[in-house]
Every structure is written in C-alpha cells, then in structure tokens.
Amino acid sequence: MSNHIARTPRIHSVLACAAIVALGASLSFPDAARAQNKHESVVQIEVRDSIGLPLPDAKVEVFTFMEGGVFWEWVPLGSSALPAGVNLLRFSFPGYHATTFSVPVREGGTLSLRVNLTPEHDTAAAKHSLEAHPIHAVGLALEGRAKTDIVGRRRVVEHLDFEGEAVSRFGPLMRRLRNTELKVLPASGGSFRVFGQSAGSSFNCSVQVMINGDRRRVLPFESFDQLFSVSEAEAIEIFPMGSAVPLSYQVPRSGCGLLVVWFRTV
C-alpha cells in the first residue's frame, strides 16, 4: 500500500494508488476527521492502468507558481499547498502515457479522482501525431450525499505534442490539431475562428478561452490568439460541447464550448 499524505494549512491531499482493488471501494485516509474543518479540502486520488488495476507509487504533480520562482512549473503534489480554484495535475507511471488535466478545488470540499493510464506502445509514432487525447478519468466533487462531475467531456493536448510545430499562433495550431471535435475556419488576415457545439448540437458559436484556470481571465478566441504565443503554452484543455463543461468551469458563453490554456509565464 502506498499512501502519500501532505498536510498544509488549507489542503489535505491523499494519494491512494494501490490500496483499492474493488472498483466500488472507498478511498481511505488516516485523518478523515480533520476534513470536517470547513477551511480544509480533501483530494482523494487513485491511479490505475487501462484495465483498472492500481499502479503503486504513481507520480502526481501540480502545475504551479512557486514562491520566489520565475515560471510556472511541475512540482510533486504535496510539496506545496494546493490552492482553491482550478489546478492542473499530471499523472504518470513508468511504461504508461502520462495524462494531464485540471480539477477544481473548493475550500472545505472533498474531491475524488480515479485516473486510468494507457500503456506506451509506439511512442515514436505518437510524437508525429498532432492529436488531442481524451481523458480517461472519473472525478467527483462530494457535498454530503451529492456528487458533481468535475471532469466532463474534454480532450487535452500537451506541450510535447505540439512543440515541433512551426506555428506561433493558436489559430493555425488548432486548425492542424486533430480529434478536437471543434470546427476551425479561416477568417480575414490569416486568422481563424473556432466554433464549439452548442446545446442545439450545431457549431454556431465561438468558443471562449480561459487562461491558467482563472475564471476572471476569459477571452474570445480571436482576442486570445492576438495576445498569446504557442511557445509558452504547457497544455490545452478542450471542452468541445457546452453541455459537457462542468459547473466549476462555466463562464459567460461557455455554452459554446471552452478552451483552458495553461502557460509557463502569464
């Protein structure tokens, strides 16, 4: 059993990667009573392989800006506080493809994540495929007996996937990117417009872009593309359908779909 427990004044993170064998089993942790403090949050994580077997000692990292740092960087979960808000996490284990996606953390709440990693096969071929990947995870925010989905339907493309692309703007990158379930059309002046799927199942409205999970920093794609460069991006999360955007990510016009773009410098 490999449980790593990090205590901070606000966050109580639990990595239960090998303890659960039955799919319906509850994630356990030794200081459950402390979670009753309304100022603490509990994050429960189980990392498994593609058929559901636990992966002992899976690595979990958070993308954060460390005190005294210059750039946002990946640090092991538990070495610093996981703040309330939307946090980008990365899950990895030797011999498996790492997966990256963000989760919303609320003070005093409980978050349960079950993440499945897929085995590495032809990694050389994967490097040449500019494709957004679906997330194989179940994430729930627990409020008493209420359970709220926090993963939704999303796809992710990471820096390693697009670092070799000879583009500096997001419009051309999104145009080349496959498996997004978005419609990307050329516009005037070499720009592009990106459309998501609205509640009426039609691609008739432009997606918004959220910067580093901050709901206060949301722009139309056309404005975003003029201000930010691909070279500093770490990951792009794609919610192609407005109906699949979890509540914690919803902003004005998110009914058209949403991009959450993470940068090393912002």
Distance (Å, rounded) from C-alpha 168 to C-alpha 20?
Answer: 44
The pLDDT, as a whole number, for residue 203 is: 72
Cα–Cα separations (whole angstroms), residue 230 to 36, 225, 227, 236: 42, 9, 10, 10
Long-range contacts of range 161-167, CB-CB < 8 Å, 24 or more positions apart?
161/129, 161/130, 161/131, 162/130, 162/230, 162/233, 164/127, 165/130, 165/230, 167/230
The pLDDT, as a whole number, for residue 128 is: 57
Q: What are the DSSP calls for 121-142, one per residue?
A: --HHHHTT--B-EE--EEEEEE
The pLDDT, as a whole number, for residue 200 is: 64
Distance (Å, rounded) from C-alpha 168 to C-alpha 213?
Answer: 22
Name the pLDDT band for 31 (thresholds 50, 70, 90): very low
What percentage of residues in the chain have a pLDDT greater than 90?
Answer: 61
Every domain of the chain and the residues it spans: 3-149, 155-263
The pLDDT, as a whole number, for residue 25 is: 28
| 37-62 pLDDT, tens digit each | 456 688 899 999 999 999 989 999 99
User: What mean pLDDT comes out for the span 15-39?
Assistant: 35
**Nearest 5°: phi and psi at 167?**
-135, 150
pLDDT of residue 9 exceeding 50? no
From 192, 191, 128, select the one nearest 160 (Cα to Cα): 128
- Domain 155-263 homologous superfamily, CATH: TonB-dependent receptor, plug domain (2.170.130.10)
pLDDT of residue 102 exceeding 60? yes
| 114-156 pLDDT, tens digit each | 999 999 875 444 455 799 999 999 999 998 889 999 999 999 9
User: What mean pLDDT comes out for the span 200-208?
Assistant: 79
The pLDDT, as a whole number, for residue 81 is: 59
Name the pLDDT band for 21 (thresholds 50, 70, 90): very low
Beta bridge partners of 16: 3
Highest CATH level, class, for 3-149: mainly beta
